Amino acid sequence: MSTRPSPATRTAAALPTISDAEWVVMREFWRLRNATTAEVVAGLEGRMHWKPRTVQSLINRLVGKGALTFTKEGREHRYRPAVAEADCVLDASRTFVDRLFGGKLAPLLACFVESGQVSAQEAAQLRKILEEGKTK
């Protein structure tokens, strides 16, 4: 059994840039924690109409970017996330807000509120989050 080393700790600057298709695959790995290509293909069945070769190509790209690591078990590779989902979500969110709203959250929220896309329930959740954030 051979193992490819995983990064010890990653800073925000070291997090890989993940494409939309790669996000789908990474979410499956975060859900499963570790899996073979066949297990990921099975998990995506019915949601994505990708051939196993497409999934393997995406996995190879994610390994190359350092988002996944693997252990070779006989003829199979068992992959596992090398980056935390929460870290990747935060990094992608920051990148999005920086690119579209100059790094400011208020215009992002205003965009959704002013277009009527925030329900009363979501508005209440946002208020609660903001109030709890004040006390931290």
The answer to pTM > 0.75 is yes
Contact 28, 42 (CB under 8 A): no
Q: Which residue has the tokens 């297990």?
A: 39
Closest CA to 21 of 51, 127, 118: 51
pLDDT 10s per residue in the chain (136 long)? 444 444 434 444 589 999 999 999 999 999 999 999 999 999 999 999 999 999 999 999 999 999 999 999 999 999 999 999 999 999 999 999 999 999 999 999 999 999 999 999 999 999 999 999 877 6
pLDDT at res. 136: 65
Q: Which residue has the tokens 């109409």?
A: 49
Burial class (CB in 10 A: 0-12, 13-18, 19+), 102: exposed
pLDDT at res. 3: 45
pLDDT at res. 47: 94
